[in-house]
Each structure stands twice: as C-alpha cells, then as structure tokens.
Amino acid sequence: MSAPGPVEGLLPRRSFTSTVPEVARAGVPAAAREALLAAANRLLAGDWLVLGWPRPDIADPDWFLDPVTGRRAPQWDYAFDIDHRDEPTTGNVKAVWELSRHHHLTVLAAAWWLTGEERYAAASAAQLRSWWTANPFLSGVHWTSGIELGIRLLSWVWVRRLLDGWSGAPALFEENEAALRQIRWHQEYLAAFRSSGSSANNHLVAEACGRLAAACAFPWYAESTRWRTEAAGQLEESLSANTFPSGVNRELATDYHRFVTELGLLALAEAERAGHPLGRSTQRLVAASVDAAAALLDPTGRPARQGDGDEGRGLVLDSPQADPWRTLLATGAAVFGSRPWWPPVHAGVTSVVVGALARRHDLPGRPDEAPRGFTDAGIQLMGGSSPDGRPALWCRCDGGPQGFLSIAAHSHADALSVEVRHGGVDVLADPGTYCYHGEPEWRSYFRSTRAHNTVEVDGADQSVEGGPFLWSTHTDAVVELAGGTPDGPGGGRQVWVAHHTGYARLDSALRHTRRVTLDPPTGELVVDDTLTGSRPHTARLHWHLGPEVRATLRQNEAHLSWPSSDGEQEAWLHLPAQLRWTARRGETGPVAGWYSPRFGVRVPTTTLVGTGSWSGTLTLRTQLLLATSEPVASSGETAVAAPTADLASGGYVPPGSGETQ
C-alpha cells in the first residue's frame, strides 16, 4: 500500500479550545471517581468485557477479532465488498465493531483527567495510533457502517478534550497527520454516505452527532464550517423525525430511546461549547425525551423492556458498571434540571463534564407529574402502591404503531402485549433481544409474537418478517380507552383497552381486542382478550414468566413465587379454561421459554402456553392475583393446591393434554 499524500484542506493554524472548565473536576463525586479509576485499572490489567465477552487482549487489541466466534473480520478488503451480516465472513460483527467505538479509550482519558497519571494517557494514545494505522480509508470492516464512524468521532473528541493538559495531546491529535487524516476521512464518509430512507433511524442521529462534535471540536479543515452547519441541520432534522412530540423515540425500542436521548444531550453540549447552540425546538424535544426516560422507569428504577436493545452508548466516561439510565438522567438533570417526580439521581463523571459544557436550560411546560400515558407512542404505564406501603404491581401496555419507517427495524411483533413487574421483578416478562446477526432462528424468536405476552393466531406472527431488521407488514394497534382513578387510594383501579387487526391478512374479519384492568391496592391484574373472525382459527395465548419466578401448573391454574424484599412473594395466575395449558422452558425444537437479560445472553425461563380453536367470537380472561397475608381465591375459584411440578427445573405438561409445540 502506497503512503498517503498530504492531508487535504488542512488549515495551517490548529489548536484545541473545546476544553472542560477546570472547576468541573472538583465536582465529580468521590464514589464516581473511584469507580471510574477502578475500571481503568482493570482495563490496564487486561480485565475487560465487550458486550459481555472477555477481551484479555484489551491492552493491545486485535481490532478485527470477534471474541464470540474466534473469527477475524476482513481488514484489507474494500469496505463495500464486505457483507457485514455474513457471520462466516466477519464473525459476530457487533462484537467486532463495539471495541472500535473506543469507549474504553474515553474511560482511560477520563482517568487521566481525574488523576494526571501518565499511564492512562499513554495507553489511550498507543491504542489510537494502533487503530489509525490498521484502518486506512475504506479498508476493512470498520468502514462498513456509518453509525460506527459517528460514535467513534464522539469518542475521539472526548479523548482529546479530557487529555487536554497532557504534554502528548497536541502530538497525538492536531500535530499528527494520521489523526488529522482519519478525522477528515470520517467526516467525508459521513457527508457522502449518510443513512437515508427507511434506514434513517438512530443510525442517522449518531452519524449527525459525530459529525457535529468533530466539526465543532476539530475546526481544522477548510470545510469545517460547512460540515458543522450541515451536521447541525441533519441532527435537528433527524432528532425531530425520530421522536414523537411526547418525547418517546419512534422506534418503540426502549433501549434506543435511551441511546438517542443520550446523543441529543451530547449534541446540545457540543454545539453550546462551540458557540453555535441548537434551536429552541430541539432543546425542548431533548428535554421531553429525558422526561419520558424518567417516566419509563418502574418504581425500582428499571426501564421498561420494549423492542430491540443492544446496550449502545454515545459516550462512556463513568465505570461501565454504572447504570446507563441513571447516567442519562443525571446528565439530563445537569442540562435541564430534574423534575420532582423523577427518581433520585446522583452526579457522575459524565453528568459533571457534559453539564460543564452546556449551560443550564430552564424550559417551561415540562410535566409536573409523571406521565402515565404516551398517546402518540401507544404506551400506557399502570401502577400505584399497596395500602401497607409494600410494592405493588407495575404494568406497561403496548398499543401503538409497529415501529419507525417502512422497515420498523428495531420493533417486535408485540401488539397488545403487557409487561408486569412487582418490586422490580419481572412477573410477566418482555423477552428482550439476545442477538442481531448470525443466529437467524434466535433473532426471529425474540422478536416474534409468540415470544411476547399476547395472542398468536394460526401459528403466525402479527406482522410478516422480511429479514432480521425488516417487517414486510406492520401491525399498528389502536387504543380505545386509557384511564381510571390513578390518584385514588393506592393508585386506584386503572383500565386500558386497545385492539389490532394485524391478522386481517388471514381473515378480513379477524380482530384482537384486549382489556387490561389493574387494581394496585388489591394486587389484582385482569386481562380480557376478545378474538373475532369469520371462520375457524387457532389461538395461542402466551404468558412469559420472568427468570426469577418459580411456577407450578395444574390444568388452568398456576401458582407463582419469587424473591422479594420481604422474603418470598406469591401470586396466583388463573388462566382461561377454554385453552389447553402447557409449560415450556429452555426448549430449542422449536425455540420456546427463553429470556435475554442483556444483549448476547439468553437464559431459560418458564412460558405458559394456552392453545385452542374458535369460530366467531372467543373471550379469554386471565387473572393475576398477588397473595396477601393469606392465600386468596376469587370469582369462586380455589387457590392452587400443593405443587404438581416445579417449573424452575423443568417443563410440566398436564397429563393427557397431548399438547406439543
């Protein structure tokens, strides 16, 4: 390979002025400081995880190694000749790409900023030089996806910012042709190959955010002003397109809501620091997204689980073990201020330094109480408290659009599904994501209708899957009623009603209507499903229990238990008697009974499956009833007797049911 020529368009005078005010360092809480330094020290010792996989080579990484499969992605092939979705070619490309987002290098840079210890800065610099040498323009897998370039630019900006004051920083960046060339290449690429059309989702936001950050912090090129102006316009346009007026992200994937909101906060700070603030409407939109993020947490601070999630981050300056949602809210509080109904937030490294760049924005019109319903997104949150102050049921109901744009890439076939928790424990659980590439059967399962707490008709998904990030048809649910008396004693009885016609492709008269009634004071949740059609159909109702829940099943009654702060919590699940009930756990032929606690990880869990057939109209009632001091029976039904089988260690099928799946 011939040596590259001079860096084009480079301005003769270059300096770095986008620094963090010195006073910010003293504002970092001691606990956050110590956690970050402990993480940096583990990194230097070779103890590091990437998407849950060990990277013992982290001190001198192979940038093309997939630790999951052991394969090595192409390094010298022309980028656009590489099929990054072909696992035999690239390995698990998410695991390959993730390390080259350089979040571990921002951790090292933050450690230098906090301590001034040379070893952190030197290690970060050595790895940047290694990456720049190994990845010439359009060569290899790291040039195949624009989102990766955008996030990488963000990391480089923050490495330079946090290393300001280190004697080697100018020689690493503004005096280094390799760095100057890479920064230019990344901006040229993103200007030429921006995500568009049906792919203009979170990828486009990340690309614009990276471009904006680089153009603001590294204004060292003849085109920098134009790049900044273009990137700011693209960022504001894409944020608006990706976000409902309520603040909820239109992809209807909770983890991507967090990711895009984080990018919005970072973009606001970068533009503010450069003296070119983003518009007031964008500020209001990001503030609404932060407030929505706070509302989407259950009473213990866990976020709802809806749609895809791959743990994507825009910036990592705190310990990787820090809760990213808490980090997001702390950063949002630093930029906009918190609201009285938010959960408690505590400052960290990220919130302190981002807050130091962005002036405080006090915006009128933010909610005085936690929103329960996001009408445009079709999300309804239900809950309250029990009379004795113990945890009560929390429920999320899904009655909105399928997802964003024509491909609805990160949505699941989960219309009318519910997610129910008690004290932070998943009782009726959303399954999560598990994987994107390389395991098509698992990818299909985790986004399927049968993997969610809703009704499957004729063994088909509500929407037709066209690929791992494509739905050929969309099932948009319609909310008919969302209300009740949430301000009554303990929260009061709350009711939600919605329907969808996603199965009309099978039968034009087919309609599924679901009514959810939650009474927090009594610990009762009732789900009424009504199915109508013009000819015979089969129905399967799935209830996915969380991995902490133990269950015993006897015909159409299930006794549930799980650990709680007060010991063992019990509940009864009364299932529709019109269906034949079976239990599935950790099965692979076909896939059934699985839960993904985080990207790349799956664990067995118990799924209760009710199967039957109907013609005309079928009405099904499911009742979840928390135990009080004594076992409770309702509607003339008796509580479940002694366990017939322990589903925590294996599946149970009622004798004589003959049911298979």
Of 639 and 626, the one with more pLDDT? 626
Q: Containing H/E element for 265?
A: helix 254-273
CA distance 651 to 585: 5
Query: For all residues of the chain together, what is the average pLDDT?
Result: 93
The residue among 619, 603, 595, 610 whose CA lies nearest residue 661 is 610
Please tell me the predicted confidence (pLDDT) of residue 655: 25
The pTM of the full predicted model, rounded to 2 decimals, is 0.93
Over residues 526-540, mean pLDDT: 98
pLDDT tens-digit readout, 26-39: 999 999 999 999 99
pLDDT confidence of residue 350: 98
How many Cβ atoms are within 10 Å of 517's Cβ, its own excluded? 17
First to last CA, the chain: 57
Q: 53 near 96, Cβ under 8 Å?
A: no
282: Cβ–Cβ under 8 A, 6 or more apart, which residues? 235, 236, 239, 240, 264, 268
Q: Give pLDDT, residue 360.
A: 87
**Is the separation of the CB atoms in 448 and 423 below 8 Å?**
no
Non-local CB neighbours of 18 within 8 Å, separated by 6+ positions: 157, 161, 216, 217, 270, 273, 274
Copy the structure tokens of residue 599: 């990207």
Q: Is residue 149 within 8 Å of 189, Cβ to Cβ?
A: yes
- How far apart (Å, rounded) are the C-alpha atoms in residues 479 and 653? 35
* DSSP string covering 345-370: ----HHHHHHHHHSPP---TT--SS-
Tokens of 372: 């329960």
312 pLDDT exceeds 50?
A: yes
pLDDT at 634: 36
User: Could you tell me the pLDDT band of residue 628, with boundaries at 50, 70 and 90?
Assistant: confident
Neighbours of 468 (CB within 10 A): 16
pLDDT reported for residue 438: 83
C-beta of residue 376 within 8 angstroms of C-beta of residue 246: yes
Helix (H) or strand (E) holding 41: helix 30-44
Amino acid code (one letter) for 312: G
Element (H, E) at 541: strand 537-544
Strands 494-500 and 393-398: unpaired
Residue 526 has pLDDT above 80, yes or no: yes
What pLDDT shows up at residue 585? 98
The answer to whether the CB of 276 falls within 8 A of the CB of 231 is no
C-alpha 600 chain-centroid distance: 13
Residues 571 and 560 sit within 8 Å (Cβ to Cβ): yes
User: What is d(CA 316, CA 626) in angstroms, rounded to the nearest whole number?
Assistant: 40
pLDDT digits (tens, 9 = 90+) for 567-626: 899 999 999 999 999 999 999 999 999 999 999 999 999 999 999 999 999 999 999 999
Work out the average pLDDT over 51-63.
95
404-460 pLDDT, tens per residue?
999 999 999 999 999 999 999 999 999 999 999 889 999 999 999 999 999 999 999
Residue 197, Cβ neighbours under 10 Å: how many?
9
Using the predicted structure, report yes or no on whether residue 642 has a pLDDT greater than 50: no
Chain centroid to CA 92:
19
| Span 282-305, pLDDT tens digits | 999 999 999 999 999 999 999 999
Report the b/e string of 520-554 with b at 16+ CB within 10 A.
bbbbbbbbbbbbbbeeebebbbbbbbbbbbbbbbb
Whole-number pLDDT of residue 491: 59
Per-residue pLDDT for 379 more than 80?
yes
pLDDT at 479 exceeding the cut of 90: yes
Report DSSP letters for 596-635, one per residue: EEETTEEEE-EEEEEEEEESSEEEEEEEEEE--SS----T
Residue 631 has pLDDT above 80, yes or no: no
Binned at pLDDT 50, 70 and 90, residue 649 comes out as very low
Residue 334 and residue 319: Cα distance in Å, rounded?
19
Cα separation, 312 vs 32, in Å, equals 21
For 151-160, the pLDDT digits (tens) are 999 999 999 9
3 state SS for 449-485 = HHHCCCEEECCECCCCEEECCEECCCCCCEEEEEEEC
Listing DSSP states for 80-139 in one string gives: GG--TT-HHHHSSHHHHHHHTT-HHHHHHHHHHHHH--HHHHHHHHHHHHHHHHH--TTB
What is the predicted pLDDT for the residue at 492? 82
Cβ partners under 8 Å of residue 118, min gap 6: 112, 166
Identity of residue 125: A
